[in-house]
A and B are shown apart, each in its own frame.
Chain A
Amino acid sequence: EAGVAQSPRYKIIEKRQSVAFWCNPISGHATLYWYQQILGQGPKLLIQFQNNGVVDDSQLPKDRFSAERLKGVDSTLKIQPAKLEDSAVYLCASSGEGRQSGNIQYFGAGTRLSVL
């Protein structure tokens, strides 16, 4: 079974530039998550999708961050314009349905963003 795919692995940009990250979840997983992980901290949820609908985006800075999951499969997360404090690892995760899954999440390797 293929895991969660993310690209790119690394990205370096200057502040005020824009950047986009891509994620392809595990096949058949309806729920997709984007997390932001700042160095030395745990992951913080940015947005959660159920199929192609948004379940929770309460912690997404909507003035600069946007995300979409067209067709309910892969997803993109965009930052425009980037700030220095956006430097972090952006993790994508997916989970299966049903009580048996227990909401166990499967993570991609992440995209490390450096904003200079």
Chain B
Amino acid sequence: SQQGEEDPQALSIQEGENATMNCSYKTSINNLQWYRQNSGRGLVHLILIRSNEREKHSGRLRVTLDTSKKSSSLLITASRAADTASYFCAVNTGRRALTFGSGTRLQVQP
């Protein structure tokens, strides 16, 4: 079964607006990661947040983690047309591979 489930499934915003995506998961984790996938391409790692962290920033990205609610959010500030992509959360529960959600498709209108 899917560990990470993203919400919303699709999001359309105007350039310059902020985009927020949410992720819920089911079990204890070591860390949670967010990846981006442009159409027809592989996934690219964006940011990792460990289970003992609550918030992390990287450029225009802000990730929060609430382990009590088993949820995370990804905020992209001042979005650009180039941010148009699918965004996936992935949970790391140990040595085994990441478990990915079904993704949020973000469309940023110029």
Interface residues of A (CB under 8 A from B): 4, 33, 40-45, 48, 55-56, 91, 93, 102-110, 112
Contacts and interface: CB of A to CB of B under 8 A. Distances in A.
A44 B101 CA distance: 9
Contacts of A33: 97
B20 interface: no
A110 B97 contact: no
Interface string B50-78: 10000000000000000000000000000
A33 B90 CA distance: 14
A107 B9 CA distance: 22
Interface of B: 2, 4, 30-31, 33, 35, 40-45, 48, 50, 88, 92, 95-103
Given A4-B42, A107-B43, A110-B42, A42 B103 contact: yes
Contacts of B44: 107
A77 B44 CA distance: 22
A43 B31 contact: no
Given A102-B92, A103-B31, A43 B45 contact: no
A105 B46 CA distance: 11
B50 A43 contact: no
- Looking at B96, B97, B99, the one whose CB has the most chain A CB atoms below 10 A away is B97
- Looking at B4, B41, B43, B88, the one whose CB has the most chain A CB atoms below 10 A away is B43
Contact of A56 (B2, B96, B103): B96
Nearest to B100: A42
Contact of B98 (A103, A108, A110, A112): A103
Contacts of A108: 42
A107 B96 contact: no
Contacts of A106: 45
Given A42-B88, A48-B97, A102-B92, A107 B42 contact: yes
B101 to A, nearest CB: 5
A3 B49 CA distance: 23
A68 B5 CA distance: 31
